[in-house]
Structure 1
């Protein structure tokens, strides 16, 4: 902490006591402005948010031991097939973009410390000699206005740092949400790829059989072309799904921060089963308003601007007060020395600008932040309602496939096989039903994928950490041209 010593003016006992009171005020102000760096660099709030919302641990890597510990945990998780929870944990420990966000938090703490320290004094010394005379003058200059407003500016800086902590926590939740979305897309792509790999094998056998029957005249050209077309379409669909699986996997690898030999991650071949019952969230809007980090940051910003507005209004007429303690030593040509002590005050006269511009700017900035906060609160409630409706509808759709559509399709398949065994239908009728079942299975997998994505979006809508602008990624899939082609047979 900087210390400023103000020389006294030895003119009278009254002036000396006044100077002592002034020095006592400055000493109290300096003590209130003392600040020091926190041992965790502000990561305590981030860790609490991550633990309460996503039940995961975070770390700000500062030393080699931190890096080694994080790497050991990551490698242990990568030895097994990744679940969505383990994938999120790997990303939180290994993603360097998130570590850069934590570095931003540490930089924000340096701003807090800088704004909480008193201004450094200015010391000047001058020496003038001529015709045997010598004059030496020393000055110590301090910004009185900066000292007087230090507690207020320190409070504002603490509000800004609190906002920076929530911003780092929001980046943590955003990365977790992106990992969940990438994980479910990658696993769903694997699920579809397995389905269409089997379908392609069946379609290839059918096409070869149709070609042989066509050569013997047992199958007309129309039916033969239909079987060949289905095989070609299935091959194209499988190629597209392989590309989608590769791209989804690579996106997940990027989010996990993996490279070199660690990119050979193991993912499940099937999406998780649907939960037994959906979540019931009657107070979804209240939860979102209470927990959304972006809303909390907007509230903190409004509070900081309110304090800044009060400070601006209080100091509207005075923007500069400098006080200098003067110690002057003079020696005349005859060599007789004498000393002089005093002080110098400089302040700005508000002739042209009485502070109206600064007050107006601060007022409009506060009003703007208030309107932004109000709009954000309205949007948060709407987003929470919409996310829950999507969550429930996707659960109902995916559950309908599991409970109704797929069992009925299984009955149809078994009945067709019985009729084929009793020679009531030919092999191509059985294959037509298999193509229709393939389309239903694909739709069921996609419906399950949409549910898990919607669940992730619901968690994001309540806690925060949504996509940045330009991060939208459609979750739709290719149209089921195979089903249309198969239904025409």
Structure 2
């Protein structure tokens, strides 16, 4: 055991601060690795990567990759792994021995006492302590990887929200421009006596509401873009990135998943971290029970020497006497912490099962709803709009009926955009609930949208 302790005392902190395992977990679940930004060289490499990504419109994956590398809050959290790694290395090292020197004079003689002591308890309990720190290190890696994964999910949600806002803003501009042109035409017709003041007022209200909707859409586009910018950690010239003008098309078929509860329990990093915490608490409880009576036990070498006398070597032992504290409170505290950890694992598993079921139902329902708008509502709305325009041109319907159709058409298009956004949000939420990206089959290739009526 002493040899093992001496070898452990020579351990050093790895050059990657133990972050390599976290990066591997991120790559497996997010599709992108994470890196520590240590120096100016790393910052220049990161700036070059971001510059390359920003040359064209960002994809959701591009946004996630930039966020994982460039968000300073994440970078700060990444160093928790390095702290835990250093604690693990420190736990594997022996405590430094203590050296004491005493010189006394009695009459004409001088007595000198030298002693060298080290903690025997720390040596005997070193394997247990190192095991505890090793589990704490594993837990830290899992917790950091889980935070990384959750930040990636937040970035995806913000991306789809921002792109949907851009698409909604573009359509709001079309509606506002159409309403303004229509108002100008109806104003002329009213002046010529071919349109009633009631129909003119209705057109004026529609134009005013379209202008207000355009202002709200513009405000939302700015807010969602800035939210995405914060998550990616961009500022300055990098803040002028481009986004697509519309959301990705709906996949041809939704993902078919079997036992989603089993997948969540197996893959979710927060559950794995809770399990490691419970094991760590169990080890801590064992260490506390081991040292409840004797927490201090020092063994030392002593050498006394006096004037005109030979040296007198010997040894010294010091230990803590459990007269007032028998360690019962420490054991009770450790037992309480262990039971907390056990219940956390159980609750995390219960929550994960429920979130997996809820997210999968939301995902499938959102897909069906978006497909319904794409394949049913929009084609019918376009047909009605075309027929209404034909009848208006033939003077078979009034301007009021044309105006009512325009209102309904705008509502249908906005609902279609919202439904498509909700699907991509639901997919992101499902991936977060299951702890990883959804498998992509050849049948899931996206199909082009039917288009939106103009």
| TM-score when normalising by structure 2 | 0.93
1:421 CA drift (Å): 3.0
1:160 match? 136
- 1:201 matched to 2:180? The reply is no
Any residues of structure 2 matched to 1:328-339 within 5 Å, and which? Answer: 328-331=304-307, 336-339=308-311
Distance 1:144 1:225 in 2: 93
From 91, 101, 104, give the equivalent of 1:125.
101
Distance 1:236 1:422 in 2: 32
From 376, 389, 403, give the equivalent of 2:348.
376
Distance 2:4 2:273 in 1: 32
2:393 match? 421
Q: Would you say the 8 A contact 1:163–1:300 is kept in 2?
A: yes
Q: Would you say the 8 A contact 2:202–2:400 is kept in 1?
A: no
Distance 1:425 1:212 in 2: 19
1:286 match? 262
Indicate the larger mover: 366-375 or 207-216.
207-216
Indicate the larger mover: 39-48 or 403-412.
39-48
Distance 2:292 2:83 in 1: 30
Query: Which is greater in Rg?
Result: 1
2:444 match? none
1:41-93 deviation per Cα after TM superposition (whole angstroms, max 9, x unaligned): 11222121111112112211223332222221111111111010111111122
Distance 2:306 2:168 in 1: 94
1:101 match? 77
2:357 match? 385
Please, which runs of 5 or more residues in structure 1 have no aligned partner? 1-24, 466-489
1:317 CA drift (Å): 1.4
1:211 CA drift (Å): 2.9
1:351 CA drift (Å): 2.4
Distance 2:126 2:429 in 1: 43
1:401 match? 373
2:442 match? none
Q: Would you say the 8 A contact 1:298–1:369 is kept in 2?
A: yes
- 1:353 matched to 2:325? The reply is yes
1:33 CA drift (Å): 4.7
SS at match of 1:81: coil
SS at match of 2:317: strand
2:5 match? 29
2:293 match? 317
1:34 CA drift (Å): 4.1
- 1:447 matched to 2:419? The reply is yes
SS at match of 2:396: coil
1:4-35 deviation per Cα after TM superposition (whole angstroms, max 9, x unaligned): xxxxxxxxxxxxxxxxxxxxx53443334542
Q: Would you say the 8 A contact 1:33–1:151 is kept in 2?
A: no
Distance 1:143 1:261 in 2: 58
Q: Would you say the 8 A contact 1:41–1:106 is kept in 2?
A: yes
1:178-206 deviation per Cα after TM superposition (whole angstroms, max 9, x unaligned): 11011101100000000010100111122
From 149, 158, 172, give the equivalent of 1:173.
149
1:248 match? 224
1:216-249 deviation per Cα after TM superposition (whole angstroms, max 9, x unaligned): 4433333222211111111111111101101111
- 1:233 matched to 2:209? The reply is yes
Any residues of structure 2 matched to 1:54-73 within 5 Å, and which? Answer: 54-73=30-49
1:465-486 deviation per Cα after TM superposition (whole angstroms, max 9, x unaligned): 9xxxxxxxxxxxxxxxxxxxxx
Distance 1:356 1:256 in 2: 50
Q: Would you say the 8 A contact 1:30–1:147 is kept in 2?
A: no
Q: Would you say the 8 A contact 1:29–1:148 is kept in 2?
A: no
Distance 2:434 2:77 in 1: 22
1:131 CA drift (Å): 2.5
2:163 match? 187
From 262, 265, 276, give the equivalent of 2:238.
262
1:408-462 deviation per Cα after TM superposition (whole angstroms, max 9, x unaligned): 1111112112222322223442232122111100000001111111111111111
SS at match of 1:337: coil
1:262 CA drift (Å): 1.1
The 1:133–1:325 alpha-carbon spacing in structure 2 relative to 1, beyond 3 Å, is same
2:119 match? 143
Aligned length: 437
1:308 CA drift (Å): 1.2
1:97 CA drift (Å): 1.4
Distance 1:267 1:385 in 2: 32
Distance 2:2 2:408 in 1: 84
SS at match of 2:310: strand
Please, which runs of 5 or more residues in structure 2 have no aligned partner? 438-454
Q: Would you say the 8 A contact 2:68–2:152 is kept in 1?
A: yes
Distance 1:217 1:90 in 2: 61
Q: Would you say the 8 A contact 1:50–1:56 is kept in 2?
A: yes
CA RMSD of aligned residues (A): 1.6
SS at match of 1:35: coil
SS at match of 2:37: coil
Distance 1:138 1:244 in 2: 77
